Chains A and B, each alone.
Chain A
Amino acid sequence: MNPAVLLSTLLASPDSGNQGFDLGKMMAIIIASIFVNNFVLSRFLGICPFLGVSKQMDSAIGMGASVIFVMTLATLGSWTVYNFLLVPMGLSYLRTIAFILIIASLVQLVEMILQKFSPALYKALGIFLPLITTNCAILGVAVLNIDEKYSLGYSLVNAIAAGIGFTLALVLMAGLRQKLEMADIPPALKGKPVAFLVAGVMSIAFLGFAGLGG
C-alpha cells in the first residue's frame, strides 16, 4: 500500500467519515496536551511519580522518557483492542479491565525485551518501569483517547504530546527542587507541603496557556 494513503487513513478520524487528517487539529491536540491541559498541572494525572521522582534531574528525565515510551505503546495497544475487538463484540463495558491488563502486560513485556536486547537502556529506565503500571497518566491517556473518539493517528499524537507535557512538568519540578534544597523554608512546610506549593505556582504559570490553540 502507498505509505501516504496508509498514513492518511490512519490519521482520519472515525467520526469524520475518513476525510483525511487535519494538520490544524493535530497542532491543537499537541499544544493542548503539552501546555493547556498539562497532564500533571491541570488534569492531575501522574501526581505520585511527579512528587516521587522529581528530586534529581537524571531520574526525572529517565522517568519522563519511560512514560512517553510506554504511553505511546499503551495507546497503540488499547486503541486497537478497543476498536477492533471490544466494540465489534459488544464488550465495550470491559474497557477498564482490558486496558489495565494491556498496560500491565505491556510494561512487563517492555521490561523483558529491554533487559534482553538493550541492557544500557534497561539500566537507565529499568527502575522506573514497574512504577509505571500504577501511573494513572497511562491509563488516563488511553481512556481519554477513547472518550474523545480520536482516530489511531490522533491518539498516538495525543499520547506522545501528553508524555512530553508530563516530562516537561517533571523536569521543571526537578530543577526547582534542586534549588529548593538550599532555600530557607519554614519547618512546618518542609518536604511535601513545599513541593505542592511549588507545583501550585507552576500550575498558575501554566494557566497562562489557557485559550492557546483553541
Chain B
Amino acid sequence: MSLVKDLTNGIYRENPIFRLALGMCPFLAVTTSVENALGMGAAVIFVLISSNFLVSLFRNLIPSKVRIPCYIVIIATFVTLVDMVMHAYLPELHRSLGIFIPLIVVNCIILGRAEGFASRRPVLNSIADAIGMGTGFTLAMVILASFREILGSGTWLNMNILGTAYQNQPLLIAILAPGAFILLAFILGFFNILEKRRGGSQ
C-alpha cells in the first residue's frame, strides 16, 4: 500500500516541476521537441533510480557529516555512465541534449530525493519513489515539449500534425527561449486554477 503511495506521489501530488519547482534548468532547455524530452526523461529516471537505490542501500554506512559529497559522487558516477552510453549508441540525441547531460549532476531533483527520501527509507520504497519522481518529471517535460513542438514546428514526435502550410510559417517563438518561459507560465497558471477548483469543492 505504501509502495503504491510512494510511486504515485511524484506524479501529481508532489510533481517536481509543477509542485516543487525543482530541476527547472534542464526542463526549460530540452523541451524544444518531444523526442529530446523523452531522451532527457529516460536519462533522469535511470540516474534517479540508481542513485536512490545505492543511497538507500548504504544509508546506515555513510557518516552523516560527509553524506552530501558521497551522494554527489554516486550521482556523478551514474551521470558519467549515461553520458558515455548515450554518446556511443544515440549520438544524435547526445548532441542535441549537449551540455545538459553532464548537468544532470546538479539537477536538484536527484540530490533532493537522495537527501530527503532515500537516505532514511528502505530500498524498495526508494526505488518506487525514484520511478514516481522520474515519471512526474518526464510527464511534465512531455507536456511542455508537446506545446512547444506543435506550435513551433507543427509536428509531434516528428509526425506532421498541423500540415505543411503551417510548417512554412510556424509560431517560431515557441521553440526559441522565450516560448519556454511564457508557455510554462500559462501551464503553471492552469495548474493553479485546477488546484483552486479542487480546494473549493472540498
Contact = CB atoms under 8 A, between A and B. Distances in A.
A139 to B, nearest CB: 5
B105 A139 contact: yes
Contacts of B1: none
B106 A134 contact: yes
Q: Which of B28, B84, B178, B186 has the most C-beta atoms of chain A within 10 angstroms of its own C-beta?
A: B178
By size class, the interface of chain A is 35 or more
B21 interface: yes
Given A47-B28, A189-B189, A100 B105 contact: yes
By size class, the interface of chain B is 35 or more
A51 interface: yes
A140 interface: yes
Contacts, number: 118
Nearest to B21: A192
Interface stretch (B36-44, B52-60, B72-80, B155-163): B72-80
Task: Give the top 9 A-B pairs by smallest Cβ distance, nearest first.
Answer: A200-B181, A200-B182, A196-B185, A44-B29, A203-B178, A197-B185, A47-B24, A97-B76, A193-B188
Given A46-B25, A193-B186, A97 B73 contact: yes
Interface string B98-127: 110011011110010000000000000000
Interface stretch (A1-9, A27-35, A58-66, A88-96): A88-96
B126 to A, nearest CB: 21
Interface in A175-212: 186-190, 192-197, 199-201, 203-204, 206-207
B178 A201 contact: yes
Given A97-B80, A197-B181, A48 B99 contact: no
B140 interface: no
B108 A48 contact: yes
Contacts of B80: 93-97
A15 interface: no
A134 B108 contact: yes
Given A196-B181, A200-B182, A189 B24 contact: no
A69 to B, nearest CB: 18
Contacts of A192: 21, 188
B90 to A, nearest CB: 17
Contact of A194 (B105, B108, B185): B185
B171 to A, nearest CB: 13
Given A47-B24, A134-B111, A96 B188 contact: no
Contacts of A207: 176-178
Contacts of B192: 187-190, 193
29 contacts: A44-B24, A44-B25, A45-B103, A47-B24, A47-B28, A48-B24, A95-B102, A96-B76, A96-B80, A97-B80, A100-B76, A100-B106, A101-B76, A133-B106, A139-B102, A139-B105, A143-B102, A187-B192, A188-B189, A188-B190, A190-B192, A192-B21, A194-B185, A195-B185, A196-B181, A199-B181, A200-B180, A204-B173, A207-B177
A10 B110 CA distance: 38
B139 interface: no
Contacts of A134: 106, 108, 111
Given A48-B25, A139-B106, A41 B99 contact: no
Given A44-B25, A200-B178, 13 more contacts: A96-B80, A100-B106, A101-B72, A101-B73, A104-B72, A136-B106, A139-B102, A143-B102, A196-B184, A200-B179, A201-B182, A207-B177, A207-B178
B196 interface: yes
Interface in B83-97: 83-84
Contacts of A187: 192, 196
Nearest to A43: B29
Contacts of A193: 185-186, 188-189, 192
B199 interface: no
Contact of B21 (A51, A101, A194, A201): A51
